């Protein structure tokens, strides 16, 4: 039934639906359920240690013997300047007081990007697929992974980024439109360049590269999948749609905001981590809006707000959490992941047959 099979052949999957890697929200159970249902399950591995990665890899391999994807952030090491974080610390202090969680911590670099220890672990574990967000690790790392037989995918938010990724050896490219939930993948130009929507971005990326293109951003049901295929994509990557599956690790308050929210309830802000990301608008990000351009660099800013996010979750309030979600969130359905894949495939078949 699928108009193009290049992505299916490349990945060895039945349906061209990639469940997006979402660090902190994806679980081995979710990945296993999606991959067993014929899609590509993905786990967001940012913030994981080599030992954590070994455990995740083992759990996924217990859950499925189908292909799956491990995903990493490939950001540059940030400049840590504690003095520059002082104004932000002062502005955050009243919220720490309100939640009763002590002092705002000193700024740190809370986790590394795709470093040598992670590379060695991946060369040892050899997951079927690895995907990257925020650019790529160095050429030697890309080459080593390719030689190890791992299929490599990465996100582009502009045509220029897509061409760069193709020339760096990516086997497929995710075209991430501005509607997408979570962090913008923009890496080869100013953040303002990475604001093209899925509809104009996908066909232009398809025209610019020869590898399969995976459309991402604002796709919630069979209509969105059929539209992405009509634009020339070989498949889709959907994140927000899976946040209300029982296998996902997502706070109940966050799930409620998604299911009861509207498209206009999301915003893009750098104030959750230091890097622009789309999330559900809430009190913290509204009240700090004037500091939008003063956040310490990614992921240093995360070290200042992480305790606030955790405490907000423990106290069941949406006010301080980072509830990442895309513009199609109100179309979410709360159902098990395998049922969601089955529903999406049936809906797409129905839409395509009626066109
Ligand atoms: C909660 C959440 C977390 C995300 N985390 C990651 C991540 O760790 N790595 C990544 O490559 N993309 C991440 N993304 C972005 C997705 O890969 C994808 O671009 C996006 O979900 C597509 O838009 P949609 O949410 O409208 O489906 C995240 C998205 C969400 C909603």
Q: Where does residue 116 rank: exposed (0-12), middle (13-18), buried (19+ CB within 10 A)? A: exposed
> What would the pLDDT profile of 4-39 be if each residue is shown by its tens digit?
999 999 999 999 999 999 999 999 999 999 999 999
* CA atoms of 194 and 176, how far apart (whole Å): 9
Express each pLDDT in 205-260 by its tens digit.
999 999 999 999 999 999 999 999 999 999 999 999 999 999 999 999 999 999 99
User: What pTM was estimated for this model as a whole?
Assistant: 0.98
User: From residue 153, how far is each of 7, 299, 336 by CA, in Å?
Assistant: 11, 22, 26
pLDDT tens, position by position, 70-113: 999 999 899 898 888 999 999 999 999 999 999 999 999 999 89
Task: Report how far ligand 1's centroid is from the alpha carbon of 181 (Å).
Answer: 5
Which atom in ligand 1 lies closest to the alpha carbon of residue 22? 5
303: helix, strand or coil:
helix
Identify the residues whose C-beta falls under 6 Å from ligand 1: 20-23, 25, 44, 46, 71, 133, 155, 176, 179-182, 216-219, 237-241, 243, 324-326, 328
Q: Which domains does the chain have, with CATH numbers?
A: 1-77+112-247+336-355 (3.20.20.70), 79-111+252-330 (no CATH)
């Amino acid at each position: 039934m699928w108009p193009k099979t290049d992505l299916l052949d490349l990945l060895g999957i039945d349906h061209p639906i990639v469940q997006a890697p979402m660090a902190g929200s994806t679980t081995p159970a979710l990945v296993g359920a999606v991959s067993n249902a014929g899609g590509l399950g993905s786990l967001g591995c940012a913030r994981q240690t080599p030992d954590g990665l070994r455990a995740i890899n083992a759990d996924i391999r217990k859950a499925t013997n189908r292909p799956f994807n491990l995903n990493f952030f490939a950001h540059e090491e940030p400049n840590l300047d504690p003095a520059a974080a002082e104004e932000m610390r002062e502005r955050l202090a009243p919220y720490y007081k309100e939640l009763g969680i002590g002092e705002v911590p000193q700024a740190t670099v809370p986790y590394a990007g795709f470093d040598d220890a992670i590379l060695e672990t991946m060369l040892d574990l050899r997951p079927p697929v690895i995907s990257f967000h925020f650019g790529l690790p160095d050429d030697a790392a890309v080459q080593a992974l390719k030689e190890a037989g791992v299929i490599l995918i990465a996100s582009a938010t502009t045509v220029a980024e897509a061409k760069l990724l193709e020339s760096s050896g990516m086997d497929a490219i995710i075209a991430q439109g501005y509607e997408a939930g979570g962090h913008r993948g923009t890496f080869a130009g100013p953040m303002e360049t990475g604001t093209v929507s899925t509809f104009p971005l996908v066909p232009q990326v398809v025209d610019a590269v020869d590898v399969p293109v995976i459309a991402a951003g604002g796709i919630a049901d069979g209509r969105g999948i059929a539209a992405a295929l009509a634009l020339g994509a070989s498949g889709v990557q959907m994140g927000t749609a899976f946040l209300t599956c029982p296998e996902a690790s997502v706070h109940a308050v966050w799930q409620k905001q998604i299911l009861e929210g509207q498209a206009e309830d999301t915003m893009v802000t750098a104030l959750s981590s230091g890097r622009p990301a789309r999330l559900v608008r809430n009190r913290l990000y509204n009240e700090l809006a004037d500091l939008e351009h003063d956040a310490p660099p990614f992921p240093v800013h995360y070290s200042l707000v992480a305790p606030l996010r955790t405490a907000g979750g423990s106290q069941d309030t949406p006010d301080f959490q980072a509830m990442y979600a895309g513009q199609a969130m109100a179309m979410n359905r709360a159902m098990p992941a395998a049922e969601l894949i089955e529903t999406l495939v049936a809906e797409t078949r129905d839409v395509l047959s009626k066109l």
